[in-house]
Amino acid sequence: MPETGPMDDRPIVGITLGDVAGIGPEVVVRALARDDVRASCRPLVIGDRRVLDDARFAAQGLRTYDVEDVGEVDWADPKWGPTGDPVMLLDMRNLDPDDVTVGQLSRAAGRAAVEYVLKATALALDGAIDAIATAPLNKEAIRLAGYDYIGHTEILADVTHTSRCTTMLATPGLRVTHVTRHIPFRQIAAGITFETVLDTIVVTHEGMQMLGYSHPRLAVAGLNPHNGDGGLIGDEEITVIAPAVRAAVGRGIDARGPIPADSVFFQAIHGGYDVVVTMYHDQGHIAVKTHGFEKSITITLGLPIIRTSADHGTAFDIAGRGIASEASMASAITEAAQMARPMARRRLGLL
């Protein structure tokens, strides 16, 4: 158990509530009721108190304490110890719950969800918090609110002025990244270029090193069935993917491929590789969610800040029913805390 007081090196993790018409608030509250999550970090919920004051969250017994400025919190105060302590809440005061119907698409909830992410990102860039863990937002809702974003990754890349980033999907035993993400299927092949494949390999390699893998082993998936069968059913493996893998190897990266997508995940799950670079969204997502859906999380690589997320959507169909699992959200928070521990120690002068 971490030591309380001035030498407590738990990182501050900003946790956004996500789209409050969905399951975001309930999985955040449930996750923060867990002793292992509270022991891993100093959680700072970024949301609206009026949402958390809803009676449906009372049974979890979560106590929150409003803070205006994270930098002015006295961490030596015993109340901030890892057990039995209140959770910090940064009340954005930007959402009237009466304007939102749980389980239904909401412009107000979409706007508030983006504002939570923007605030968390600003705090992380300023060094006020050590990492971000995000609850799910809804793509349609944020478009209704007037934002031209597809999801969290695009928001974070824009705000941090990052051109090279990718999303890692991770569950125990399998990690994947993606060369292309939120584009129509018919546009995927055009998005698979030497530059995009090589950039994704490099960002994945660097991200795995940040996660503690000194010499990560990367598998690079093929795009076409049977790796294109020597060009008979597609030649991207020959003209694009293989040259990018060779270029990555030339930079000292342990990358192998292209490997047919119908076998590469089996090889990775059984220890052959530390991470698989996939060519498109569903190629990686289906593998991870089949292998370990409840504990899967996303990690955005290539950003100047640490960001993890629950790997599920807003689940409007079950929102408000009290049956959503907090497992993914809890894993996202604890993973963010683990990644951010060195940063917190530097901030506290312990390194």
In three-state secondary structure terms, 38 is helix
Whose CA is closest to 14, among 124, 95, 160, 109? 124
Query: What is the Cα–Cα distance from 319 to 66, expressed in whole angstroms?
Result: 26
Q: In terms of CATH architecture, what is 1-162+303-351?
A: 3-Layer(aba) Sandwich (3.40)
pLDDT at 84: 57
The DSSP letter of residue 234 is B
- Give whole-number Cα distances, 155 to 40, 139, 311, in Å: 27, 11, 17
**Unique residue bearing structure tokens 């030498």:** 7
Residue 302, Ramachandran bin (φ over 0: left; ψ between -120 and 50: alpha; else beta): left
Contact 86, 63 (CB under 8 A): yes
Helices (H), 126-241: 139-144, 152-159, 188-191, 194-210, 236
Contact 244, 194 (CB under 8 A): yes
In three-state secondary structure terms, 240 is helix
Domains 1-162+303-351 and 166-297 share a fold: yes
pLDDT at 73: 78
* 346 contacts: CB under 8 Å, gap ≥ 6: none
- Sorted by where each begins, the domain ranges of the chain are 1-162+303-351, 166-297
Query: What is the Cα–Cα distance from 155 to 178, expressed in whole angstroms?
Result: 17
CATH number of the domain located at residue range(s) 166-297 in this protein: 3.40.718.10
What sign results for the dihedral spanned by CA atoms 84, 51, 116, 104?
positive
Would you tell me how many other CB atoms lie within 10 Å of the CB of residue 69?
Answer: 8
Q: pLDDT tens string for the chain (351 positions)?
A: 444 445 678 899 999 999 999 999 999 999 998 989 988 999 999 999 999 887 666 656 677 888 888 877 776 677 766 665 678 999 999 998 899 999 999 999 999 999 999 999 999 999 999 999 999 999 999 999 999 888 888 899 999 998 888 889 999 999 999 999 889 999 999 999 999 999 999 999 998 998 889 999 999 999 999 999 999 999 999 999 999 999 999 999 999 999 999 999 999 999 999 999 999 999 999 999 999 888 899 999 889 999 999 988 899 999 988 889 999 999 999 999 988 887 666 666 665
Q: Find how far residue 277's CA is from the centre of its chain.
A: 17
Query: What is the Cα–Cα distance from 326 to 348, expressed in whole angstroms?
Result: 30
